[in-house]
Chains A and B, each alone.
Chain A
Amino acid sequence: MSDAQQVDLSTRVAGIDLANPVLLASGTCGYGEELEPFLRLAEVGGIITKTITPEPRSGNRPPRIVETPSGMLNAIGLQNPGLEGFVEHKWPFLSTLETKVIVNIAAPTVEQHGEMTARIDALGGVAGIEVNISCPNIREGGVLFGCNPRASADVISTVRRHTKLPVIAKLTPNVTDITEIARSVVDAGADAVSLINTLVGMAVDIEARRPILGNVTGGLSGPAIKPVALAMLWKVRQAVDVPLLGLGGISSTQDALEFLITGASAIQVGTATFVKPGAAADIVAGLGDYCRKAGIARLDDLVGSLKS
């Protein structure tokens, strides 16, 4: 294939048509607006909003972040304006974007997931709903659902009943067997699965002899977790038959390709955006270059091409 030839990066994931398979991960791109000076949002396949909850949340006491070898810990605690604050202040900007917007939600009870879903569905223009049953930094909801196959299924089936939009379950790696949770959410009606959320971690200030994070523990992200994420993706790929959205430490085109080859239909760039706000757009460009050099006309053909 000559350099001049266009490579087809587009894909269709769980019924969502994406210009390319590179999404911005929830919690690392705010509600889009803050990134605009550095990244043309139309260049990425989609943006997944920071988690919204039924009511506004203040988040955890600082310090909330600390750098660790090849990554970082965060314990933000889902600071967000709440569902109505989102609708009033964040959605007007998001609704104008020329990229797909997936709204990420979490709630303290199963029922509230349903109520939030109905409200978001009614906005019109939302591409899909990602359900955060995997946040490690809050006392109710989040990972408490995501660690238990039955509770995970209850949340997803409730969301499913309230919308025809694609429903994506975001899974935690902090479980004994992630494939068990993956199967239960797919059985409950999830159209796709995102994996992985952060790994629970901790750092200590040896002078003060205290945990560095206000929340004591936090979620580990960044390149440090990439091999863990890939292994979990590989396991889940064999366990369920829905599209997978891979994330966990993806910082480069090489990383993105590893996830796509292992079986992710799309990938999410998260912590890398903190370091380089244009990282996701660089990866999109890099995927095109890779395909041109390798003579691949459609990037989608690469998905799941891992040889045994």
Chain B
Amino acid sequence: MEETTKDLEGVVFSHEEVADGFRFLQIRIDGHLPCARPGQFVQIRPSRTTTTPFLRMPLSVSHVDRVGSTFGVLYDVVGPKTRALSDMNEGDRIDCLGPLGNPFPDVPDDARPVLVGGGIGVPPLLHLGTHLRSTGMDPILIVGARTAGKHLPLELLSPASEHVRLATDDGSLGHHGFVTDLLAQALKEEDKPVVYTCGPHPMMAAVASATESADVRCYSSLEEYMACGFGVCVGCVVERRTQANSPYDQFTRVCVDGPVYDATEIVW
């Protein structure tokens, strides 16, 4: 059954800091929340705010509870909008528009999913990994961060994979270096890898380049400034790599055409 997107009010169910600056927010929806699939996102904002923050925040869904109507998002407190979100307490009401965007495509039965996340780009991969494991697959999860304190705790990472491989830029935890080093190793080990990635733009560009060189399929979940999240503002575009038939198709809307793209479709 195809479920439609809805604009509903939810309630903060739990809200805690889980790493340096990273917060885990779980929301219970009053009505029936159409279940988000891995890669989809929600647009949220504290209810009854009028002008500050003004636009909603697009955040990938990291957790879904298919029994009760709760879902989770993870975010990094970086600016006024996320600071306003971080002030929310249990029981506070929150506007939720979603689920939005296209999910990650299905993984072929004989493929080995390799999930590569960086910084606060990990949440959609947690959703994906947890989902893949529920279908009997055994994904590898590679996560990079600047430093140990910026890594999500293992209890959040491990439901998504039994093979979590960490890297830090400063060597304070796991591999001293970039996720691309760990990716190169995984691509060597696996016969039929398929890569799923989300993180800072330079990291995803490096992952896209590495997978293309290795002739491995890679799906990237992009993040862009977004106003509406459902296709009307045409603000969150990225450039397509393929020659468009019409100038109209040169840029693609991350919110409704993405956020998940085959990495070879996009100009990095």
Contacts and interface: CB of A to CB of B under 8 A. Distances in A.
Interface string B181-222: 000000000000000000000000000000000000000000
A58 B267 CA distance: 15
Interface centre among A28, A65, A76, A222 (most CB of B within 10 A): A65
Given A277-B7, A277-B228, A56 B246 contact: yes
A59 interface: yes
Given A38-B230, A56-B246, A273-B232, A72 B251 contact: no
Contacts of A70: 51-52, 54
Nearest to A251: B50
Contacts of B248: 56-58, 79-82, 85
B146 interface: no
Interface of B is mostly: loop
A149 interface: no
A65 B253 CA distance: 13
A166 B81 CA distance: 42
Contacts of A50: 232, 234
B233 A28 contact: yes
A66 to B, nearest CB: 6
Interface in B221-245: 224-228, 230-239, 244
Interface of A is mostly: loop
Given A64-B235, A76-B235, A274-B233, A223 B247 contact: no
Instruction: Report the interface size class on chain A.
Output: 35 or more
A67 interface: yes
B158 interface: no
A277 B236 contact: no
A92 B225 CA distance: 31
A58 B247 contact: yes
Nearest to A84: B246
B4 interface: yes
B256 interface: yes
Contact of A63 (B225, B231, B247): B225
Contact of B55 (A63, A79, A274, A277): A274
Nearest to A34: B231
B7 A74 contact: no
Interface in A257-300: 271, 273-278
Nearest to A213: B225
A79 B231 CA distance: 12
Contacts of B256: 34
A275 B45 contact: yes
Contact of B7 (A67, A80, A85, A276): A276
Contacts of B237: 59, 62, 64, 79
Contact of A62 (B7, B52, B224): B224
Contacts of A304: none
B134 interface: no
Contact of A71 (B45, B54, B95, B230): B54
A110 interface: no
A124 interface: no
Which of the listed residues B4, B81, B235 has the most CB atoms from chain A within 10 Å of its own CB?
A: B235
B56 interface: yes
A72 B51 CA distance: 10
Given A57-B248, A271-B227, A277-B97, 15 more contacts: A38-B230, A55-B247, A58-B251, A59-B251, A62-B235, A62-B238, A65-B226, A65-B227, A66-B225, A70-B52, A72-B227, A74-B233, A79-B248, A251-B50, A276-B7
Interface of B: 4-7, 45, 50-56, 81, 95, 97, 224-228, 230-239, 244, 246-248, 250-251, 256
Interface of A: 27-30, 34-35, 37-38, 50, 55-59, 61-67, 69-72, 74, 76, 79-82, 85, 222-224, 251-252, 271, 273-278
18 contacts: A34-B230, A38-B230, A57-B247, A58-B248, A62-B224, A62-B237, A64-B237, A65-B236, A70-B52, A71-B54, A76-B235, A81-B246, A222-B54, A224-B51, A274-B232, A275-B56, A276-B95, A277-B7
